Chain A
Amino acid sequence: MDWGAIFSNSVVWIINPETIAYALATVGLAIHFGYGGLLNFGQAGFMALGAYGYAISILTFGFPWWAGILVGIAASVVFALILGIPTLRLRADYLAIATIALAETVRLLFQTTAFDAVTNSADGLGGYHESFRAANPIPKGTYGFGPFTYNETDWWVRIFGIFLLAVALLITWLLMRSPWGRVLKGIREDEDAVRALGKNVFSYKMQALILGGVFGSLGGVVFALPSAVIPGAYVPSLTFFLWTVLLLGGAATIFGPVVGSVLFWVIMAFLSNLLPRMVEAGLLPFMSNQQANIMRFVLIGLALMLIVIYRPQGLLGNKKELTFNAR
């Protein structure tokens, strides 16, 4: 077996745009769930709004790329308000079901043929890259070393994504060590107690929902930057993968989402390189190549179960600061 290729094909995922996008969206989830106790299962909806907001404002309205990002952010703020007003007063499991349903509504509206002229329905959108690439300060050429060798466009996407991620992490870090973060964590523990202390719990939950949603939409933008926007990508499974990433790293930690995302994608890439080769080498006689790929998703499901049961605080989390309080 070609271990060199397997290894290099896997490590490149450390800084792939998908990894960065997942990390960004998961930082948002960490604010929702890890710090605020909000069971948001609609993060894929926020990502879709970021991606479509970006692509549509460029393709249909001719906006520059940065304005496209702002449109994506604005869309996610509006969505957070629509999502939050009816649901933030509800118990955790109701919130989960309501958020997943609204995120699906968003996806179906992007996918329907009714708005084909703008969304291109199921086929999705592409070809919006010109403005972003024109802003690339890196001269033409190939840079990097070993498996991390990319042209100027690929580097620009990665560097910009990492920049956004760094900003999101900085904001999260600043907020969570502030009195604002203290109130949010208090709400996670017991919202009635915080209410009795004179804090407007609903307002804080809404602020958290909006902030995490904005990070989700930025994740969607980074997801869209290198390739295309396809509605089939923003299914509930995407949200579940983000939850796996979140719980893998540690829900109430600053760097947990980054660690989780890197691990998630590197392991996925490793398996997608390793398993087919094992099949070819006859080591997995009962499996076809496609089955080997499907196997990875079975493993994600099992991993999610095992983490929640055996290590709910994640890899970086403090055992004492579990985020699952019985409600």
Chain B
Amino acid sequence: MVPAQRSRSLVKRPIMLLFAVLLASMAFAMTAVTPAHADDVNTDKYQYVFSGNVKYNDKPLAGVEIDVSGNGYSATVKTDEKGQWSVGVPEKKKYDITLVESTLPKGVIVSQEGNDRLTISEKGATIEAEFGLTDSKSVNFFLGQGVRETVSFFDQFVSRAINGLNFGLMLALAAIGLSLVFGTTGIANFAHAEMVTFGALMALTFSVILVWPIWIAFPLAVILTGVLGWLQDVALWKPLRIRGLSIVQLMIVSIGFSLALRYVFQYFYGGRTYQLPDTGSKKIQLLGPIALSVTDMVSMGISIVMLLLVAYWLQRTKIGKATRAIADNSSLAATSGIDVDRVVRIVWIFGSALAGLSGILWAYFRPGIKWDMGWQILLLIFAAVVLGGLGTAYGALVGSIIVGLLVELSTLWIPSDVKYVGPFVVLIIVLLVRPQGLLGRRERIG
């Protein structure tokens, strides 16, 4: 940051600035780990191996199906005569190991007791397994006598709908910022994904790496994401607006910025997945089929409160009204005496901060924090925003909840590894019949 250069390089300077902030805040980060590569399933192909023994009353069970999945990888094995199985996996990470209960003999199930971190689903019992210091890990299921409880379709529907609502609410936090930035500046900002990741990474840095209490760590992470949003506007987007770049150019700049930031994150945090404190807490059975963990409930509560605050802000405060006015008609708003630059700046700050908050919540929902986590949901956020109507705040909210529900409910019928396809298909259909989105006005796409 050489002050003498300021008039020349409008862009290098802001990037340097951003770098400096990132460097400072990530200084405590751990060293890098190899980036992700999905590859083959064999044990001779990969050095990381899960293995186990399936026995019932000390007798080995053959032909029991075990699914290993996670990190974009999945494999299936059957136990041999000795009841043994092993599966190679490409990365030293957390995987879901599922014993398919329908392949067990009649009257035998995976017992709830004795198994650590067990989740029972329609398919079978799943253990989340992680490698220790070595490259191999044995995963065993304790079997017991019992009748398999199948969850009724209605119960599954309700529990996934609740999950979808939770997911939709956190998407909405991210989507509102994206939509308002678009409404006020015309930028389809791909780097918004990195605000989501940044929030989560800062929360990780403060709460796990620095071991600060979360009531300091998380708000600080959200505030820092807001600061990053402010820096972006001041150092990058405002100069580019003044320079008169077209919206297409701005969009591509945001793609470049998103790429650069994402790899900066990987540079400092590596390719592994981190967990925030108290991730995966026990589910509490509430009404009927509804089971939520404390973090789920807190997360939904925070989302709802924040969204209500945003609605109040848009509806009642002067700046909020001005924001809606600019999103509606920027030049008209400017002539009516609204300080567009100031409003845009505030939108950047709050939009980014909300995205950062949604990143923290999503880190619990996913669960886990990874350098490209925001990027993984960026298209869902875009789908939500376009679905609701680009540039409208309430449209983003409605669109997000629809997308969240779609993602979770669609897994009732389609495999969960294609669950993101549903919103994309709906997005295309909406663009076909109502391109302005559900709450958008027809003139917008002019």
Contact = CB atoms under 8 A, between A and B. Distances in A.
Q: Indicate yes or no for A touching B, C-beta below 8 A.
A: yes
Interface of A: 39, 85-87, 89-94, 96-98, 100-102, 104-105, 108-109, 111-114, 121-123, 230-232, 236-237, 240, 243-244, 247, 288, 290-291, 294-295, 297-306, 308-310, 312, 324-327
Interface residues of B, number: 62
Contacts of A297: 259-260, 262-263, 266
Contacts of A301: 256-263
B382 interface: yes
A300 B37 CA distance: 20
Contacts of A93: 188, 247-248, 251, 390
Nearest to A121: B74
B253 interface: yes
B31 interface: yes
A111 B417 contact: yes
Given A295-B263, A303-B256, 18 more contacts: A39-B251, A86-B428, A90-B445, A93-B188, A93-B247, A93-B390, A101-B382, A108-B420, A113-B417, A232-B38, A232-B72, A240-B255, A300-B256, A300-B260, A306-B256, A312-B249, A325-B246, A327-B247
A102 B446 contact: no
A122 B188 contact: no
B258 to A, nearest CB: 7
B38 A230 contact: yes
B69 to A, nearest CB: 8
Interface in B163-200: 188
Given A288-B32, A303-B256, A298 B264 contact: yes
Interface of B: 10-11, 15, 31-41, 72-74, 188, 240, 243, 245-249, 251-253, 255-264, 266-267, 270, 379, 382-383, 386, 390, 414-415, 417-418, 420-421, 424-425, 427-429, 431-432, 435, 445-446
B123 to A, nearest CB: 12
A230 B74 CA distance: 14
B251 A96 contact: yes
7 A-B pairs with the lowest CB-CB distances in the bound complex, closest first:
A301-B260, A304-B256, A301-B259, A305-B256, A86-B432, A297-B263, A101-B424
Contact of B247 (A101, A111, A231, A326): A326
Nearest to A304: B256
A92 B382 contact: no
A114 B446 contact: no
B247 A102 contact: no
Given A96-B188, A122-B72, A312-B249, A114 B415 contact: yes
Nearest to A243: B252
Nearest to A98: B431
Contacts of A92: 247-248
B366 to A, nearest CB: 17
A230 B262 CA distance: 22
B263 A304 contact: no
A98 to B, nearest CB: 6
Given A113-B74, A298-B264, A300-B259, A305 B11 contact: yes
24 contacts: A85-B432, A93-B247, A93-B248, A96-B188, A100-B379, A101-B383, A102-B424, A104-B424, A105-B421, A114-B414, A123-B40, A236-B379, A244-B256, A247-B252, A299-B260, A300-B256, A305-B260, A308-B249, A308-B256, A309-B10, A309-B11, A309-B240, A324-B245, A326-B247
B441 to A, nearest CB: 14
Contacts of A302: 15, 256, 260
A323 to B, nearest CB: 9
Given A113-B415, A294-B266, A97 B421 contact: no
Contacts of B424: 101-102, 104-105
